[in-house]
Amino acid sequence: MSDASQRPEARAPRGFIDRRARDLAAEREILTRVSAVYERYGFEALDTGAFEYADALGKFLPDADRPNEGVFALQDDDEQWMALRYDLTAPLARFVAQNWDALPKPFRRYAFGPVWRNEKPGPGRYREFVQCDADTVGSARPEADAEIIAMAAEGLGAAGLATGSYVLKINNRKLLNGLLATAGVTTEGQKLAVLRAVDKLDRLGPDGVRLLLGEGRKDESGAFTKGAGLDARSAQAVLAFTAAGVAGGRSETLDAIARVIGGSAEGDEGLEELSRIDRALNGLGVGADKAAFDPSVVRGLEYYTGAVFEAELLLDTTDEKGEPVRFGSVGGGGRYDDLVARFTGERTPATGFSFGVSRLASALRAAGRDLGGAARGPVVVIAFSPDDMGAYFQLVSELRAAGIAAEVYLGASGMRPQMKYADRRLSPAAVILGGDEIAAGTVTVKDLDLGRALSAGVTDNAAWRTERPGQQTIPRAELIPALRRILEA
C-alpha cells in the first residue's frame, strides 16, 4: 500500500451530490407519474445526448476560444468544442432543426435527464440536477401554450401536489414590451434591464425594484447594480403593471391589465393571446386556483417571446431542523419562437414547460409528502454455514421468481450482526434456514416490520399485532404467502 500522504482524499466535487435509494426512488416515482400524464396528452418521449457542440448550445459562451464559462466543455480530436447540456431545450432546438423535414408538425415531445451547469454552487444549488421538459414545436396558437399549462398542472398534481398547494402564474412578454414602448424604451439592453429588475420583485419588493428600474441599487454588501434608467413616471407605470393581478378569475385580471398598459399594438396582441389561453384553459377544466394570470411574472431567460409561466409552490415546508423554508418556484416555461431559427434562419414557433425533478422531490419531502418513502430493503436470508450456501441460494431464487426482493447475507458475521444488517437495510423480514429447518422442510420467518413498529410505540391496533407473530416457524411451502402478508401489511 502506498504512503498515506500519497492517497487521494475521498471527496465529492463541489456542486455534485451522492444520492441513495430514497432520493432516487422519489425522483423515479415523480418521473413515472409525470411521464404517464405527458403521454396521455400525446407527447412523444425523446432523449438526446449529454453533449452538444458548444456553438449549438448558444448560451453561456462569451469566449469563443475557451467556451466553458457556465458549461463544462472539452475539445474533441477534430478540434470542435463540445459541452455538457445545460438544459433540455437547446438540444431540442438542435434536434428539430436537424430533423424538421421528417418530423410530424407540430412536434410534441417530452424529455427528462441530468443537466450540468458550471456555476458557483450554493445551498440547494447544484452543478448537476435532473430536469423534466415538455414542448410543442411548430404551433403559434396560444392554445398550444394553454395545453402545456394544463398538462403542467396535471403533471404537478400527479407528482403529489394537491390543488391549493401550487399555482401556475401566467403572463405575456408582449404586455410589458407594449408598456415599455409607450414609455419610450426601445433598446434591447434597456428592455432586458427592466425584465431583470421585475424578475426580482418577490425578493426585493416594489421599493427595491423601483431603484433597479431607475438609476440602480446598492445591496447589503455595498455592491452597486446599475439600473435600467427609466424616469420616475415610467418606473411607476411598470410597477403598476406588475401589481395589476386580481384575486379571483383570469378575465378580471385581463381587464385590470388592459386599463394599465394603455392600448399599445404589441400590448393588445399580448392581451388577445392571454384571452385565448383563458378560453382554452376553461375548456380544459383548469381554473384560476391552478393557473392564474400574474403580470409580475417575467421569467429570467432572454429567449421568451410571448406567454411565460411559472409554477410556484404554496405548501408549508420545513427543513430537517423543523425550520420554515421557502421553495418558491419549482418549474416554469413559456413561448420561445426564435430558438430554432438560430440553426435554420426561419422563425419556428415553440412553447414548453420544465421543472426540476430533484427540487420538486426535495419540496415534497420538506412538506412531509416524500414519494421515496423509507427505501425498503430486501428480505434477507440468514447464512449460518458455508456448507448450506446452495440451499440458501435456492431459497432466494424462489423468492425472486415470486417477485419478492431478496438476498443471501454474504458477509462474514454471526447471526446477531446479520439481523442488525437486515434491520439497517429496512428489510421487511429475515428468513432463518438452519440445519434443523433444512432437515425438517421448514423455515423460520422474523417479521422485522412488526419489530420496528412495536419499538416505535405502535399500540393502537392490538388485533394487527395478535395476527402477526414476530417470529414463526412454518412449512417451506408456506413461506411465500407468509412474506406476502408481511409485505402487504
pLDDT tens for 113-154 read 999 998 888 777 789 999 999 999 999 999 999 999 999 999
3-state secondary structure 455-482: HCCCCCCHHHHHHCCCEEEEEHHHHHHH
DSSP 271-322: HHHHHHHHHHHHHTT--TTTEEE-TT---S-TT--SEEEEEEE-S--B-TTS
The answer to the question of residue 13 being in a domain is no
Tell me whether residue 4 is in a domain: no
pTM of the model: 0.83
| 438 and 345, same domain (yes or no) | no
Residue type at 264 in one-letter notation: S
Whether residue 64 is predicted with pLDDT greater than 50 in this model: the reply is no
User: Taking residues 268-275, what's their average pLDDT?
Assistant: 95
Asked which of 366, 389, 424 is the last residue of a domain, the reply is 366
The C-alpha atoms of residue 368 and residue 169 are separated, in whole angstroms, by 24
Judgement on whether residues 414 and 354 belong to the same structural domain of the protein: no
What percentage of the chain carries pLDDT values higher than 90? Answer: 57
- Per-residue pLDDT, 228: 87
Q: Which of 304, 339, 366 is the last residue of a domain?
A: 366
Count of the separate structural domains present in the chain:
2
133 is a domain residue = yes
Same domain, 121 and 185: yes
Q: List, for residues 288-322, the tens digit of each pLDDT value.
A: 999 999 988 887 656 789 999 999 988 776 666 76
Q: Among 63-67, 121-125, 226-230, 412-416, where is mean pLDDT lowest?
A: 63-67
Report pLDDT for 280: 98
How many angstroms separate the most distant Cα atoms in the chain? 93
Confidence class of residue 464 from pLDDT cuts 50, 70 and 90? very low
pLDDT tens sequence across 344-388: 999 999 999 999 998 888 888 877 777 766 668 999 999 999 999
Q: Are residues 351 and 384 in the same domain?
A: no
Domain boundaries, position 351: 21-366
Same domain, 385 and 362: no
Q: Are residues 362 and 384 in the same domain?
A: no
Better-scored residue on pLDDT, 116 or 326: 116
pLDDT of residue 489: 79
Domain for residue 352, yes or no? Answer: yes
Residues 353 and 481 in one domain: no
Q: What is the pLDDT of residue 159?
A: 92
